[in-house]
Amino acid sequence: MLLSDHASSVELWPLRYQFPAAPGDSYDGNWLVIGGKVTTPDGSWSFADPCLLTDEAREVTAWLRAVAAETVPATGRDAEGELSPDTWFVEPVLGFSLADRSEGVAVIRVHLSLEAAPPWQQGAESTAGVYQYAVKVRADTDALLHAAEQWDLALASFPPR
């Protein structure tokens, strides 16, 4: 899945199950290693981390489609100045939120923490807080639906086990 605009891009894809041979435990057997490639005006980096369960990965598609359908409200910082993603997961590595919407264009925040954070932010969560680094990407409805389709296609090889 690729979300990009003239300034930034975030590409995410499932690489493999964390444990290739499904362990007897269905929970451990459903961890996916997610690859990411991020480009911002501040720099570029990539990551690979077992940060989503198969069911959580499918929530990303639902969230993208809900944003495209304009049923997700935009959110800002809370009273303490913190960002909170609309969609977050067991491992606080990735998250998604809607920053703004106007004239058919959504501004998506892809929250990147811990192993997915940029190299200059690595280890900064203890002072900055998890989910506080986010890349904003502008996307119209067609781009959001295309990203959802790309993500679904990539996940087809990784059914829940």
* 125: nearest Cα among 116, 110, 114, 136: 114
pLDDT surpasses 80 at 23 = no
What per-residue confidence (pLDDT) applies to 26? 81
The band of 58, judged by pLDDT with boundaries at 50, 70 and 90, is very high
Residues β-bridged to residue 67? none
60 vs 127 pLDDT, higher one? 60
For residues 119-144, average pLDDT? 84
For residues 21-27, average pLDDT? 78
Question: For all residues of the chain together, what is the average pLDDT?
Answer: 93
Name the domain count of the chain. Answer: 1
pLDDT tens column, 67-105: 999 999 999 998 988 899 999 999 999 999 999 999 889
Residue 160 counted as domain residue: no
For residues 37-46, average pLDDT? 97
CATH number at residue 138: 2.30.31
Residue 40 counted as domain residue: yes
What per-residue confidence (pLDDT) applies to 27? 86
pLDDT surpasses 70 at 159 = yes
Task: Give the domain extent around 151.
Answer: 2-155
DSSP for 104-158 reads TEEEEEEEE-GGGS-GGGTTTHHHH-TT--EEEEEEEHHHHHHHHHHHHHHHTT-
130 vs 17 pLDDT, higher one? 17
What per-residue confidence (pLDDT) applies to 125? 52
pLDDT surpasses 90 at 20 = no
pLDDT surpasses 70 at 56 = yes
The count of residues in the chain is: 161
> What's the CA gap between 109 and 142, in Å, rounded?
17
> What's the CA gap between 122 and 120, in Å, rounded?
6
Residue 128 counted as domain residue: yes
Residue 161 counted as domain residue: no
